[in-house]
Structure 1
């Protein structure tokens, strides 16, 4: 769903960007296994659950210095800690969410952020009708207070859920305030300086990709029917 910005890789520069993305998936699977009180998992089991082949998984985990134990597999707790440390999740990070429309409000209420070490510390919007409202326990602050909020909460990560027409201007404000990582939900390509990491989530593009696959499957079904 996300696309890496060309430039400096997130996290440890020795870990490829594609591997970083898969580590997040492995961590989600490991969390589920931990909830089920599973102590160890084989590379094959973890790979199937994560949707990758086992050779790729073993290569990814080798960047962490984790090779598992032959005949036993990986210790779920240890591997979870290794991945969390590599992804920088051993400390809780404050996040500012800019844009509290329908999407922003839904994101503000997403419990998955907190469970993965991220705290929505501030909600910001430029619409006077939204400013002052309380959304999921947090007041919506005026966009004019953005720099102050970033400094107050020591925020380095922002989630951008504003209209495309306003996205670049808000992005520039965030960078000027000291934010160095941005998750962009706006349907535009943003320009950021080299020291800022930018991730883009384009929900419409993802649906278009699924539409392509549905069309292909429909053609394959028609072909099979025609062939009898």
Structure 2
């Protein structure tokens, strides 16, 4: 298994990384009548930028909320405002899935939900396994929002003997040695790693050996996986550091504490040097 930046066994040079997230694309599966990719049509499928895939998930969340409020249709301006993007970008994203709306009407909420769910592979449940039942693992196992979105947690793993067989969120904890058998029996398609950094790679290897090809990694390490395995990394410390940068930048641009505000007349700042008499 060649790591990024190395030539493969045939001596081919590594593929140059995309310069930005918008250039990274994800194949869009052709959809058959049963909601699954239609056989024989994969080569004709268009590609969706990775950033657009993430936004489609946001649109789906917003649309689901609108459906709960019995909203039948929505304009691109309304949907983009609710999703926090500009309307031109939203229309471009939806064009990837073949949805262009109707002039004067907008998008039918129910139809658009169905289209996005098909593209995101949400027409069937994706069984999830969580490895590492510490504080984070407990929180993930007990979170009630996953099943409603099609991601039921069906398997939990740890190495602590005191946790073996103990139900967390209604699911008994198994030993990590049982990952292959349990994941196969429960048809796990997504693995979540919530272990200490030192254990993450070994856990990842076990999940891959069990046939799990999609992994969400909370451990602050870079995992080495085959090219067929998709890994998404969530590093909360990095996110906090990014927010810290914005806090510091705002502080740098804040006015000095000893700056004397200009006098105001009827709520309007008077020019400097003008004496205001009452």
Alignment of 1:157 onto 2:174? no
How far apart in 2 are the matches of 1:139 and 1:45? 44
Contact 1:10 1:17 in 2 (8 A): no
How far apart in 2 are the matches of 1:219 and 1:201? 29
Aligned counterpart, 1:217: 250
Aligned counterpart, 2:99: 66
How far apart in 2 are the matches of 1:151 and 1:10? 26
Structure 1 residues 150 and 182, CA gap change in structure 2 (3 angstroms): same
Q: Secondary structure at the match of 2:254?
A: helix
Structure 1 residues 225 and 206, CA gap change in structure 2 (3 angstroms): farther
- Residue 218 of structure 1 and its aligned partner are, at CA, apart by 2.1
Q: When the two structures are aligned, how many residues end up with a matched partner?
A: 224
Contact 1:8 1:194 in 2 (8 A): no
Aligned counterpart, 1:198: 231
How far apart in 2 are the matches of 1:171 and 1:8? 24
CA deviation profile, 1:179-203 (whole Å, cap 9, x unmatched): 1000001111111100000000111
How far apart in 1 are the matches of 2:166 and 2:143? 18
Where does 1:62-211 land on structure 2 (aligned, <5 Å)? 62-211=95-244
Q: Secondary structure at the match of 1:96?
A: strand
Alignment of 1:26 onto 2:59? yes
RMSD: 2.0
How far apart in 2 are the matches of 1:11 and 1:97? 27
- Residue 147 of structure 1 and its aligned partner are, at CA, apart by 0.5
Aligned counterpart, 2:26: 9
- Residue 139 of structure 1 and its aligned partner are, at CA, apart by 0.6
How far apart in 2 are the matches of 1:189 and 1:175? 15
- Residue 95 of structure 1 and its aligned partner are, at CA, apart by 1.1
How far apart in 2 are the matches of 1:227 and 1:55? 43
Q: Give the greater-gyration-radius structure (CA).
A: 2
How far apart in 2 are the matches of 1:41 and 1:224? 47
Gap runs ≥5 in structure 1: none
Aligned counterpart, 2:8: none
Contact 2:24 2:49 in 1 (8 A): no
How far apart in 1 are the matches of 2:25 and 2:164? 35
How far apart in 2 are the matches of 1:118 and 1:200? 18
Contact 2:76 2:87 in 1 (8 A): yes
Q: Secondary structure at the match of 2:154?
A: strand
Q: Secondary structure at the match of 2:216?
A: strand
After the TM superposition, list the runs of 4 or more consecutive aligned residues in structure 1 that deviate by more than 6 angstroms: none
Structure 1 residues 125 and 7, CA gap change in structure 2 (3 angstroms): farther
Of Structure 1 and Structure 2, the greater helix share is in 1
TM-score (norm 2): 0.76
